[in-house]
Chains A and B, each alone.
Chain A
Amino acid sequence: MSVQESHSEYIDSETGKLGMWIFLFTELFLFGGLFLVYAVFRAKYSESFHSAALELNTFIGTLNTVFLLTSSMTVAMSLTAIQKNQKKLALFLVFVTLLFAALFMMNKYFEWSHKFELKLYPGSEVLKNLPRGELLFFGLYFMMTGLHALHVLIGMVLLSVNLVKIKSGAVSQNHYLHLENSALYWHLVDLIWIFLFPLLYLIT
């Protein structure tokens, strides 16, 4: 790395990070809108939301929370590793993050499969015949966890790109904005889950 490059990286990192934060704000409002819909319908159909939420498996939800929180730590650590020029450790930590993300998705797969087996999926006859409040709960459940899972997948793609970039040296001690922004995105995925988890799985 030449001195010039690391200097321009510094300028990039301030504006680049700012841009990332502005993007994250739009993401917050995307989910924020859904949380608002949830809050209003919950106030309106509190009984139905209560009984529908009992259908969800708290254990799987808690396990997924643990996976996401831990992955958030490993991705934050990978940034520390790259800043300290510990390339191998950074690669390992990003890999572990991906592993936890995969575990999260696997859990989600089993959870949704179980719901589908019970014929609880958007548009199914069983769902259509449920009380209106429960129908709304499951609609929001699939919409919110689905959109969140999509973000997990996008985060996994971003982290995989980082694996390649760290390996090739494109992300390095003086040039880590890409990893930093991907980590911010990954933390956002975690933040959204922190609210989704109690709202869908715990408050019953």
Chain B
Amino acid sequence: MKKAETHISSYSSHAIVLIVLLTLTTISVLVTKWHIGAYTVAAALIIASIKVRTVIFHFMHVKFESRFIKLMISGVFVLYALVIIITFIDYYLR
């Protein structure tokens, strides 16, 4: 009865996600060759974050998971961001 609720991702959707991920990889490799200084780090990290979000949502199927799992995952990332921010505040102000 509940089985019908399980979402099955199609093969083509997985293939499209891979194409998106490979395109983003190409962009991040090219961006570092432009020598835009400090922005390189920011660009590389932003692209990596988009890639991570894509993998979590599509390959890890979180897009179709319960709200509880979604909340937990977002919570963990917020927690990690806080750890980074607090560490750097400590690092720069000591």
Q: Point out the residues of chain A lying under 8 angstroms from B3, CB to CB.
A: 6, 10, 174
Output the least CB separation between A51 and chain B (Å). 15
Q: Mark A65-107, 1 if CB is under 8 A from B, else 0.
A: 1100110110011011001100000000000000000000000
**Chain B residues within an 8 Å CB radius of A39:** 84, 87-88
Q: Which of A21, A80, A187, A194 has the most CB of B within 10 A?
A: A194
Q: When each residue 55-87 of chain B gets 1 if its CB lies under 8 Å from chain A and 0 otherwise, what string results?
A: 110111100011011001100100010011001
Query: Number of A interface residues, CB 8 Å?
Result: 42
Is A62's beta carbon under 8 Å from chain B? Answer: yes
Nearest-CB residue, chain B, relative to A174? B3
A195 to B77, CA, bound (A): 14
Interface string of A21-56 (1 = CB under 8 A from B): 110010011001000100110010000000000000
Q: How many residues of B contact A (CB 8 A)?
A: 44
Tell me, in angstroms, the Cα distance from A198 to B22 when the chains sit together.
Answer: 14
The secondary-structure label for the interface of chain B is helix
Residue ranges of B at the interface with A (Cβ–Cβ < 8 Å): 2-3, 6, 8-11, 14-15, 17-18, 21-22, 25, 28-29, 32, 40-41, 44-45, 47-48, 51-52, 55-56, 58-61, 65-66, 68-69, 72-73, 76, 80, 83-84, 87-88, 91
Q: Are A198 and B44 in contact (CB under 8 A)?
A: yes
Which secondary structure characterizes the binding site on chain A? helix
Residue A190 CB within 8 A of the other chain: yes
Q: Please, which residues of chain A bring their CB within 8 A of the CB of B84?
A: 36, 39
A140 to B1, CA, bound (A): 50
Q: A187-B60, A191-B55 are in contact. Are A202 and B21 (CB under 8 A)?
A: no
Q: Is there an interface contact between A190 and B55, defined as CB atoms closer than 8 Å?
A: yes
A18 within 8 A of B: yes
The answer to whether the Cβ of A203 comes within 8 Å of any Cβ in the partner chain is yes
Q: How far is the CB of A63 from chain B (nearest CB, A)?
A: 11
Q: Are A73 and B15 in contact (CB under 8 A)?
A: yes
A14-B66, A40-B88 given; name 16 further pairs at CB < 8 Å.
Answer: A17-B69, A28-B76, A32-B80, A36-B83, A40-B91, A65-B25, A69-B22, A72-B18, A73-B14, A79-B9, A80-B8, A80-B10, A80-B14, A194-B52, A198-B28, A198-B48
